[in-house]
Structure 1
Amino acid sequence: MLLRKTALALTLATAAVLATTAPAAAAPTAAPTSAPAVAAARTVIVVGGLSGIAVAYEPIANRLRADGYRTFVYQLPGLGFGDIPTSARAFAGYVEQVRASTGASTVDVVAHSEGGLVSRYYLKRLGGTATIGRYVSLGTPHYGTYVANIVAFLGLGSCAGVVACQQMSIGSAFLADLNAGDDTPGAVRYTTIRTLQDELVRPTGNAAVNDGATNVLIQTYCPLRVVGHLGLVLDGTAYTIVRGALADGPVRPNCLAV
């Protein structure tokens, strides 16, 4: 069943890309917040994942705005189907746009799925540690996923021709390069959040990183909480972990949050 769902998801996503030309990231805009003084001091960029349109990340962006952060949503170029380093270079330009428009010297990043790899490549290979204060990833396959390998095994081509899928496969040259040396360079505070029910990141331990990051498995604290891959950007408990990470606080998830 997982194999059929995975193949279907990639087929539908590919069809969506062929039917729709994804626009380049728009000039940074952020909705007003109820705490402008705090928002001016703390800016957050929410980075979307593979096939993730910007509107899908408005729920978590709105939670951040309600907590006083000036928040932007970054949709990956071409919905993230292309080369991850190329997406990272585009993201670097977007970060500079946000900094210029807000006057912020540094920004924080909350990244979902492939977005965590794009922003982590920016940190590690493109000098991003000078401009990012806090990095939070949600269900990012930092060390790859078997699902990407399975799609290739099924004979659908090399990840159905999706470059980013190839790069997220366990053992890919891209991941070997990204994970060589220090996983957490610079003075950035790194947090990863993962869930046992993640349908797309297998094994789920591959969503963690080494070298001093705070790696949070939701079910360690909330064993009855069921959160899927997409649910990580919608779930209330996951958000309480994000909020604590951005505030440099201890890991204290609210297991009853909605």
Structure 2
Amino acid sequence: MRAARDPLPPARGGVVSGASGATGPLAAVRHAAAALTDPAVLAGAAVEAAWLGAHVATWPVGLVAGAGRAARPDHRLEHLPPVRRGLLVSDVEAAGTPILLVHGIVSNRSIFTLLRHGLTRRGFTNVFAMNYPTLATDVRSAALRLAEEVERVAAETGFERIHVIGHSLGGLIARYYVTRLGGDVRVHTLVTLGTPHEGTWAAYSLPTRLMRQMRPGSGLMRELARPAPGCRTRFVSYWSDADTAILPQRSAALRHPDLGARNVRLHGAGHLTLPMLGEVVHGISVALAQLDAGGATVRRGVTPLSTRE
């Protein structure tokens, strides 16, 4: 897979065109079919199939495994691997800032097994994951459930702000929480992986309420396209040109004039494999290891770096 900074210009609402400039479901399908001749896409499809089998096998574990808990304070470093030790030494606050993982539709927290392990190995000490009933909910009610979970994590860890990583639908739920429910007070950084920010034609496959919300031009999409002035959350959006769950693929890029977003395009990556790719784990780690350039902190009672003497 190859990651690249996405050059998409800011835009509001609507369906994003494919590479040819055409829009609509047929154009999206033609673009996806043409991509199958790309060796990188074929390799990505093989990885996707393998990871699908692994995800099915680990599904029961995701139902019973714990959501995670706050790490106990431990100031010893000699037992840590170099990468983790380096993060703790260079920025103790960034290493301790809680990270909450939110899965997508027809999934559970087991989709984040490798991502969770990768973040922990890189020095992040408070990584949590939540489950929610994707078949009996809608985006708005799931966002309220997320708000409760964020408050729980904040109370347990003592941090005023946390990071959220959402895969697919999970990113859409988190974005709704941040921009429509005032969640930017709590969320420092929101990372989305293969999230249909402008909808997906694949949502026409089922007539459920949740799927209708994810269709291009739906009421939910129009609501998310509304102004969000003063939003304090920073956004990082990963999208793939071979994601067959998001049609057209570029609708997984976040484009909104009021949101500070960095879009990262991946070449040849499948939808389910986004949370387990090495370059994604590395990119997220780099982004979350750096708090605001101005020195703003996320922990209660900590003086901002910019005012320290």
The TM tier, using the shorter chain, reads 0.7 to 0.9
* One-letter code aligned to 1:216: V
* Aligned with residue 29 of structure 1, among 59, 69, 83: 69
Q: Is residue 201 from structure 1 mapped to residue 246 from structure 2 by the alignment?
A: yes
Q: Is residue 218 from structure 1 mapped to residue 263 from structure 2 by the alignment?
A: no
* Aligned with residue 167 of structure 1, among 213, 216, 233: 213
Residue 233 of structure 1 corresponds to which residue in structure 2?
A: 275
C-alpha offsets along residues 26-65 of structure 1, whole Å, 9 cap, x if unaligned? Answer: 7652678956855773110111111111122121111111
Q: Is the 8 A contact 1:40 1:104 kept in 2?
A: no
How many percent identity over aligned positions? 30
The structure-2 alpha-carbon separation of the partners of 1:67 and 1:194, relative to structure 1 and needing over 3 Å to count, comes to same
* One-letter code aligned to 2:280: A
Secondary structure of residue in 1 paired with 2:173: helix
Residue 71 of structure 1 corresponds to which residue in structure 2?
A: 127
Alpha-carbon RMSD across the aligned residues, in angstroms, is 2.9
* One-letter code aligned to 1:217: R
* Aligned with residue 191 of structure 1, among 230, 233, 236: 236
Structure 1, unmatched stretches of 5+, are: 3-15, 152-158, 220-225, 250-258
* Aligned with residue 199 of structure 2, among 141, 144, 147: 144
* Aligned with residue 246 of structure 1, among 282, 288, 293: 288
After TM superposition, the score normalised by the length of structure 1 is: 0.74
Q: Distance in 2 between matches of 1:129 and 1:240?
A: 24
Following TM superposition, the consecutive aligned residue runs of length 4 or more in structure 1 with deviations greater than 2 angstroms are 22-41
Secondary structure of residue in 1 paired with 2:137: coil
* One-letter code aligned to 2:175: R
Secondary structure of residue in 2 paired with 1:230: coil
Instruction: Report how far residue 167 of structure 1 moved.
Output: 0.5
Q: Distance in 1 between matches of 2:287 and 2:225?
A: 22
Aligned residues: 215
Q: Is the 8 A contact 2:67 2:130 kept in 1?
A: no
After TM superposition, the score normalised by the length of structure 2 is: 0.63
C-alpha offsets along residues 90-113 of structure 1, whole Å, 9 cap, x if unaligned? Answer: 100000000111111110011100
Residue 227 of structure 2 corresponds to which residue in structure 1?
A: 181
The structure-2 alpha-carbon separation of the partners of 1:41 and 1:102, relative to structure 1 and needing over 3 Å to count, comes to same
Secondary structure of residue in 1 paired with 2:273: helix
* One-letter code aligned to 2:261: A
Larger mean Cα displacement after TM superposition, 203-212 or 130-139: 203-212
Q: Which has more radius of gyration?
A: 2
The structure-2 alpha-carbon separation of the partners of 1:54 and 1:31, relative to structure 1 and needing over 3 Å to count, comes to farther
Residue 61 of structure 1 corresponds to which residue in structure 2?
A: 116
Q: Distance in 2 between matches of 1:72 and 1:136?
A: 14
Residue 3 of structure 2 corresponds to which residue in structure 1?
A: none
Q: Is the 8 A contact 1:27 1:97 kept in 2?
A: no
Secondary structure of residue in 2 paired with 1:213: strand
Q: Is the 8 A contact 2:171 2:195 kept in 1?
A: yes
Structure 2, unmatched stretches of 5+, are: 1-28, 33-55, 75-79, 292-309
